[in-house]
Amino acid sequence: MRPACALMHTGTVTITFFDHETETLPRERLRALQGSKLVAVLDQTYGTNQFVTAKLDAAGVSPGDIRTVQDLVGLPFTTKAELLAAQDEHTLSTNCTFPETAYTRIHQTSGTTGTPLRVFDTAESWDWWGHCWGFVLAGAGLTPQDRFFVPFSFGPFIGFWAALGGAQRVGALMIPGGGRTSSQRLQLMADLGVTAMACTPTYALRLAEVAREEGFDLSTIPIRLTVHAGEPGASVPATKARIEAAWGAKCHDHAGASEVGAHSFECQVQPGGTHAIDSEFIVEVIDPTTGEPVSTGEEGELVITNLGRIGFPVLRYRTGDIVRVDDSPCPCGRTFTRFAGGVIGRADDMVVVRGVNIYPAAVENLVRGHQAVDEFRVTIVRSREMAAIMIEVECRAGIDGDDTARAVQASFESALGLRPEVASVTRGTLPRFELKAQRFIVE
């Protein structure tokens, strides 16, 4: 069944929904829906999924103990290390609920940090992925009138693969953009009249940089909205502002993970954060050290249970992402959970420099606030108890790099009380990225 795309007017923005009824359910009905889906997940996986069965048995939990979403806290957490071990113990993974013949897709994580984790989908669970992306794309305002460009190399990384299913459900015209250089992609976008695009925030800025270098006029592309995943950039205010200015389009954040699904998105109101898709996931925010829930409004680690991927489920998966719930109502009318500022950072990415807790997103926001900076790289040097930050900036042609470096340093001093070493490097020195950027190096 294809959910209806409902429209609602709020001020000057026409709000589009993927499934208006579900997205605006009263919270207690959403909780009841989550509870019934959770019971169904356990019914279908306990006894058939070796990984889930062993975890519940080891924790002394019987599926019958879990009747409502409140009972979820009785289940053990799942970690990435456990899923990696599960793929070493089986020809696929012990977390596969069904025999291999039931599966139609394999993907693996990008592998930027260690061994790639393989994930498996049945036709049903892949449909569910597309369904989740429907919430993401309709939430950003995508409609059947849009021409939706996806400049992604369609390889084993799950990335934007499921965005195609989402675009199909919304009814937009999807244009695959793999196997092309940035210049060729820009030309294709102009030729085909692209109105929407999904890519990493880094690549949106890279495409704009290539356009500037080559004298390509971005206004020849009638783009009006972009959706970004893979990095927190679209919720980093300075990065968002830069993408919106470069493209003359509204920029929307989205977060997902190979092992979890496409779980949260930014609505058209752009309230400075994202919504979790509460009908398809149960989200919790915990203290990463104690595992206990934090109070609403406090930062903590995002823990997710997915409700539609029976063939490869995760129960209370520790994402490592840091979020903060904002329980004030969103002007868009959705009752889905809100994360203020989207994913704020990764638990393991935070560094303490002279007593100041610093996430890469905060550093990015400060550096991107300087329009002269095209690209940057941050090196954190740890020696004994102390840590120091060194920043390299690469500026636009015709800009005095030393002036810019001093300005960047001054903004760190006023915002964080730190005086990092900032150096201007010649153009072309720093690497450019088409997918996830690696701008933060810890030595």
Q: Which residue has the tokens 């010649």?
A: 426
At closest approach, how far in Å is the CB of 269 from Zn ion?
5
Q: 351: helix, coil or strand?
A: strand
What residues numbered 213-232 form the site for Zn ion, per CB under 5 A? none
Amino acid at 13: V
CA separation for the pair 12, 17 (Å, rounded): 16
> Cα(79)–Cα(61) distance, rounded to whole angstroms?
18
Shortest gap between Cβ of 345 and Zn ion (angstroms)? 22
Judged by CB under 5 A, how many residues of this single chain contact Zn ion?
Answer: 5
Within 10 A of 181 (CB to CB), how many other CB atoms are there? 9
| Footprint on residues 54-113 left by Zn ion (CB under 5 A) | none
Cβ-contact 42, 282 below 8 angstroms = no
Q: Considering the complex, what minimum distance in angstroms separates the CB of residue 251 from Zn ion?
A: 15
Nearer to Zn ion by C-beta: 16 or 34? 16
Q: What is the CA angle 127-6-245, rounded to 5?
A: 85
Binding part of the chain for Zn ion, among 51-59, 327-335, 352-360, 425-433 by CB under 5 A, reads 327-335
CB-nearer residue toward Zn ion: 242 or 334? 334
- Assess 330 for contact with Zn ion (CB under 5 A): yes
Q: Which residue lies nearer to Zn ion by CB, 252 or 309?
A: 252
Tell me: does residue 325 bind Zn ion (CB under 5 A).
no
Residue closer to Zn ion, measured from CB, 169 or 334: 334
Spatial neighbors of 294 by CB under 8 A, at least 6 apart, are 285, 286, 287, 300
Stretch of residues binding Zn ion (CB under 5 A), selected from 6-14, 322-330, 368-376, 407-415: 322-330
Q: How far is the CB of 30 from Zn ion (least distance, A)?
A: 14
At residue 87's C-alpha, the angle toward residues 81 and 90, to 5°, is 140
Residue closer to Zn ion, measured from CB, 334 or 439: 334
CB of 110 to Zn ion, least distance (A): 29
Note whether 136 binds Zn ion by CB under 5 A.
Answer: no
Judged by beta carbon, residue 276 or residue 351, the one nearer Zn ion is 276
Q: How far is the CB of 166 from Zn ion (least distance, A)?
A: 18
Q: Is 332 in the site for Zn ion (CB under 5 A)?
A: yes
DSSP state of 190: H
Based on CB atoms, which residue is closest to Zn ion, 196 or 267? 267
State how beta strands 118-122 and 103-108 pair. antiparallel
Contact range with Zn ion by CB under 5 A, out of 127-135, 264-272, 285-293, 384-392:
264-272
Q: Which stretch binds Zn ion (CB under 5 A): 194-202, 304-312, 332-340, 361-369?
A: 332-340
Between 287 and 327, whose beta carbon lies closer to Zn ion?
A: 327
Q: Quick one: 19 or 364, whose CB is closer to Zn ion?
A: 19
Helix (H) or strand (E) holding 115: none
* 198, 207, 267, 323: residue in contact with Zn ion (rule CB under 5 A): 267
Computed on alpha carbons and rounded to an integer, the radius of gyration of the chain in Å comes to 22
Q: What angle do CA 18, 23, 26 make, to 5 degrees?
A: 160
- Give the torsion sign (CA, 200, 272, 320, 265): negative
Binding range to Zn ion, per CB under 5 A, among 80-88, 162-170, 208-216, 267-275: 267-275
Q: Which of residues 268-287 bind Zn ion (CB under 5 A)?
A: 269
Contact 96, 120 (CB under 8 A): yes
CB 411 within 8 A of CB 369: yes
Q: Which is nearer to Zn ion, 122 or 264 (CB)?
A: 264
Least distance (Å) from Zn ion to the CB of residue 244?
A: 18
Is there a contact between 15 and 333 (Cβ–Cβ < 8 Å)? Answer: yes
Is residue 125 helix, strand or coil? Answer: helix
- And the tokens for 53? 């069965």
Contact 164, 174 (CB under 8 A): yes
DSSP 100: G
d(CA 326, CA 336): 11
Segment near Zn ion (CB under 5 A), from 89-97, 170-178, 256-264, 324-332? 324-332
Label the pairing between strands 261-265 and 273-276: antiparallel
Q: From the CB of 294, what's the least distance to Zn ion, in Å?
A: 22
- Phi then psi for residue 9, to 5 deg, are -100, 130
Q: How far is the CB of 334 from Zn ion (least distance, A)?
A: 5
We find the least distance from the C-beta atom of residue 141 to Zn ion, in angstroms, to be 12
**Smallest separation (angstroms) from Zn ion to the CB of 15:** 8
Is residue 167 involved in binding Zn ion (CB under 5 A)? no
Site residues for Zn ion per CB under 5 A = 267, 269, 330, 332, 334
